[in-house]
Each structure stands twice: as C-alpha cells, then as structure tokens.
C-alpha cells in the first residue's frame, strides 16, 4: 500500500506536465490505424483488452504528443510498441530513439518488442508488461 505522500508526489509530477494526449489532429489517423492493426498488434490486443492483464486498461493507437502509440496503459504510463522490419535499420533506430526520449520526458515508459516475439513467446511479452506495472 502506498503512503499518501507517495501518491501526492506521483500525481503532482504527472499533473505538472502539459497535457499531451489524444490529439484531435491525429484522430483520423489513429482511427485508421485501429482499423488496420498489424497481425502482431491484433494478437497482443486479444490478451490486453478489457482489463485481462492484471485488471489494467489499455488503449490502442493512442496519441501522446506528436506520436501514436501502438498500445498504451494510462494508469501506469506504459507504452507497448511492436516493431517490424522498418525499425531494424539505422534510420528506423534513430527515429525510435528520438520518439522514446520524448515519451520518457513525458513520464511514459516504452517497451519494445519485435512482432515475432508476440507470436513465438507471448508469455514472455506479457510477463515483461506485467512486471512494469510495479515500477510506480
């Protein structure tokens, strides 16, 4: 059980940051992405939707600042990114690093998995996500 001081400190640190979520300008693109999930996103989503993982609520294709997160848990400020081939080159890695730095500055932890990991070792992926619920 958290002490009241810790909860106030967490709330204060989150409230001091500018509101960066659900950008109206990205809404049409987010909707398009939600309707066209990659196979890995769709498979992982079946395990996360409706609070199936430790009762946590996740969102698909959720915007944070200028970025759209594959999967996001607002309660613990945890983003799950599933990466395919475009991320496995120098340019993709640089763009991911820039994006991750921005999100971390906003207090969002980014977990990255290769698409194949979701299919080959789902329990590992879910375990890493679950373990990071405890970070706050």
User: Rounded to whole angstroms, what are the CA distances from 91 to 31, 66, 94, 99, 127?
Assistant: 26, 18, 5, 12, 30
Domains in the chain with CATH codes: 18-135 (3.40.960.10)
CB atoms within 10 A of CB 29: 13
Q: DSSP secondary-structure letter at 50?
A: G
pTM for the complete prediction? 0.77
CA 87 vs CA 45, 84, 93, 99: distances in Å: 20, 6, 6, 12
Q: How far apart are CA 118 and CA 126, in angstroms?
A: 9
State pLDDT tens for residues 49-89: 999 999 999 999 999 999 989 999 999 999 999 987 665 67
């Amino acid at each position: 059980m958290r002490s009241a001081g810790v909860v106030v400190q967490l709330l204060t640190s989150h409230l001091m940051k500018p509101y960066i979520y659900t950008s109206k300008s990205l809404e049409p693109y987010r909707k398009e992405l939600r309707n066209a999930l990659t196979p890995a996103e769709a498979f992982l989503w079946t395990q996360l939707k409706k609070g199936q993982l430790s009762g946590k609520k996740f969102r698909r294709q959720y915007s944070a600042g200028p970025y759209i997160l594959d999967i996001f848990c607002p309660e613990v400020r945890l983003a799950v990114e599933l990466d395919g081939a475009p991320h496995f080159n120098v340019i993709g890695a640089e763009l991911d690093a820039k994006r991750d730095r921005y999100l971390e500055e906003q207090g969002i932890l980014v977990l990255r998995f290769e698409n194949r990991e979701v299919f080959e070792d789902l329990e590992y992926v879910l375990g890493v996500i679950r373990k990071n619920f405890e970070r706050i």
